[in-house]
Amino acid sequence: MAAGGSTQQRRREMAAASAAAISGAGRCRLSKIGATRRPPPARVRVAVRLRPFVDGTAGASDPPCVRGMDSCSLEIANWRNHQETLKYQFDAFYGERSTQQDIYAGSVQPILRHLLEGQNASVLAYGPTGAGKTHTMLGSPEQPGVIPRALMDLLQLTREEGAEGRPWALSVTMSYLEIYQEKVLDLLDPASGDLVIREDCRGNILIPGLSQKPISSFADFERHFLPASRNRTVGATRLNQRSSRSHAVLLVKVDQRERLAPFRQREGKLYLIDLAGSEDNRRTGNKGLRLKESGAINTSLFVLGKVVDALNQGLPRVPYRDSKLTRLLQDSLGGSAHSILIANIAPERRFYLDTVSALNFAARSKEVINRPFTNESLQPHALGPVKLSQKELLGPPEAKRARGPEEEEIGSPEPMAAPASASQKLSPLQKLSSMDPAMLERLLSLDRLLASQGSQGAPLLSTPKRERMVLMKTVEEKDLEIEAALELGLDHISLILSNRGLRRSKKNWRPRCWPRRLRKRRTIVPQCSGPFHIAQSQGQSP
């Protein structure tokens, strides 16, 4: 029994590690200074918050269907058998008398310090519509929630840590978006339309074009946040007059730059997420547009459940890409963030089924294992002098032609449209890493050709550039090896499916969680054409 449990645990850890590797986190880690060991696991923490009765009349005549047992556990009536109750245990349980400060101090404040270590953190409010997610995250002027409290503390912390004379200079920026009907909308710039979610060459999830505002005080934060909140898509349903119709995501980035050698830089990202509620359309009275919205909300939450299950079961494919929400949360679930899920539940009987399903989701989520690591690199100017920038090498028109619009965004190691410092603008490493590999190869060959013809002119590429290109080529080759190994794994799956009389649905199906650049290079990898081919190659292997 115990052995089975530990095998299960081991399997989950391996799945989390392979998900992190496939999502690029593994490669990312390799680029960190001094990161030689695998980061230790950190389980997703789960807290449940039961809100009080809110309509005043209920309570006496309608006793609550949920009861807190202690600071970590609760019980709820079992609808299958009224003599029994279902018991749940979490990292924390906050009863109806708990205050905003209790939740913040108990579950959120402890993870903020990780941001100053250059690590990522996420707080997600989950639960049915009307159960208190927005109250928990945003609150009111009288009872401020997690967002204002976290921002206040974080700004205070960064002011202290980044003060003159301290080793690191710190800056904070914010972005605010909503996912509405599978569209990513910038709440700080509503005119920008649907934005795309991408993964850069280091495995970071990013949204090119998303506004990013520097904030140095709480007043700065409010100046951007309050009008943006009014842009959030809300509508009235029978359950909740201002029911949130979208997932709202506040992203706060803490950037640190070391003032003295070795001039390291760190970036920590904090996601504060107020999810839209899962709804039963018979009860909400949703019709027309509201019904369509509800479908999109339920789909993304359904995929969220599938992601959690895939991670827990150690499945080879985690369906992050099946919805915008899960794609964005790739880092928070099974990725590199310190994550806390706050499941909000309501005491009224009419919420009973939604409450049970929220508790079950919360119970599954606490099995998910993340592997947070410090996102640290050298500041661009600390990488040594390089005479020519890529722009100088190619000239603007050529540089633009050399890469398609997609690669320009995918390859960009800087996730958002940040106001770049002078040193960032000139960074040769950034330019090289965003350059099309084919173009790099051509430059290298041209350089060799000129050298072989005894050209007296300056080489096209200075020595550090050449070294980096050779390094990048090695990485490319390693990627191909990984891809070939993954191909083999896929064909094994085909073989198993075909033995069971099943087959893969699409001929060229590939896991969408593969790094994009691996998927793009598919044409130059020898294709295995299915189970028969694999059976043959297995037969031939020694």
CB 227, min distance to ligand ADP, A: 20
Residues 19 to 78: which contact ligand ADP by CB under 6 A? 51-52, 54
109-116 vs 146-161: helix crossing angle, rounded to 10: 40
Question: Of these partners, Mg ion, ligand ADP, none, which one is at the site of residue 437 (CB under 5 to 8 Å by kind)?
Answer: none
* Interaction between residue 237 and Mg ion (CB under 5 A): no
Nearest distance from C-beta of residue 281 to ligand ADP, angstroms: 16
Please tell me the distance from the alpha carbon of residue 108 to that of residue 46, in angstroms, as a whole number: 11
Site string for Mg ion, 114-133 (x = CB under 5 A): -------------------x
> Is residue 136 a contact residue for Mg ion (CB under 5 A)?
no
List 27, 45, 114, 133, residue binding ligand ADP (CB under 6 A): 133
Residues in contact with 529: Cβ distance below 8 Å, sequence separation at least 6, in sequence order: none
Q: What's the CA gap between 425 and 422, in Å, rounded?
A: 5
Confirm or deny that 92 is annotated as ligand binding.
no
Sheet with 66-68, edge to edge strand ranges: 66-68, 73-77, 85-89
Does residue 128 have a known ligand-binding role? yes
> Which of 23, 129 has the CB closer to Mg ion?
129
Question: Do residues 126 and 275 lie in contact, with contact meaning Cβ atoms separated by under 8 Å?
Answer: yes
Q: Report what 130 binds from Mg ion, ligand ADP, none; CB cut-off 5-8 Å by kind.
A: ligand ADP
CB 398 → ligand ADP: shortest distance, Å? Answer: 52
Backbone conformation region of residue 451, classed left if phi is above 0, alpha if psi is from -120 to 50, else beta = alpha
CB-facing half-sphere around the CA of 106: CA atoms within 13 A: 19
* Residue 134 touching Mg ion (CB under 5 A): yes
Residue 339 binding: pick among Mg ion, ligand ADP, none (C-beta 5-8 Å cut-off by kind): none
Residue 237 contact, options Mg ion, ligand ADP, none, Cβ 5-8 Å cut-off depending on partner type: none
Judged by beta carbon, residue 112 or residue 131, the one nearer ligand ADP is: 131
* Cβ closest to Mg ion, residue 134 vs residue 433: 134
| Under 8 Å between Cβ of 369 and 41 | yes
82: buried, middle or exposed (CB in 10 Å: 19+, 13-18, 0-12)? exposed
Q: Report the half-sphere exposure of 166 (CA within 13 A, side-chain side).
A: 13
How many positions of this chain bind Mg ion (CB under 5 A)?
3
Q: x-or-dash pattern for Mg ion, window 74-113, by CB under 5 A?
A: ----------------------------------------
149 binds ligand ADP (CB under 6 A): no
Q: Is 36 annotated as a binding residue?
A: no
Q: Minimum Å distance from CB 230 to ligand ADP? A: 16
129 annotated binding-site participant = yes
For residue 334, with 0-12 CB atoms within 10 Å meaning exposed, 13-18 middle and 19 or more buried, which class applies? buried
Return the number of the residue (118 or 139) whose C-beta is nearest Mg ion: 139
* Residue 120 or 243 having the CB closest to ligand ADP: 243
Q: DSSP character for 43?
A: E
Q: What is the C-alpha separation between 45 and 43, in angstroms, rounded? A: 6
Binding at 68: pick from Mg ion, ligand ADP, none (beta carbon under 5-8 Å per type): none
**51, interface contact from Mg ion, ligand ADP, none, CB < 5-8 Å by kind:** ligand ADP
Residues 225-264 that bind ligand ADP (CB under 6 A): 240, 243-244
Provide the β-strand partners of residue 198.
206
Helix (H) or strand (E) holding 377: strand 376-378
Question: Amino acid identity of 266?
Answer: R
95 near ligand ADP (CB under 6 A): no
Using CB under 5 A as the binding rule, whether residue 433 contacts Mg ion is answered as no
Alpha helices in 342-404, H assignment, sequence order: 352-365, 390-394, 396-401
User: 364 exposed, middle or buried (CB, 10 Å; 0-12, 13-18, 19+)?
Assistant: middle
Q: How far is the CB of 130 from ligand ADP (least distance, A)?
A: 5
Please report whether residue 295 would count as binding ligand ADP according to CB under 6 A: no
Q: What are the b/e assignments for 474-508, b being 16+ CB within 10 Å? A: eeeeebeebbeebbeebbeebbeebeeeeeeeeee
Give the residues lining the site for ligand ADP (CB under 6 A).
51-52, 54, 127, 129-135, 240, 243-244, 277, 344
Residue stretches of the annotated binding site for ATP: 127-134
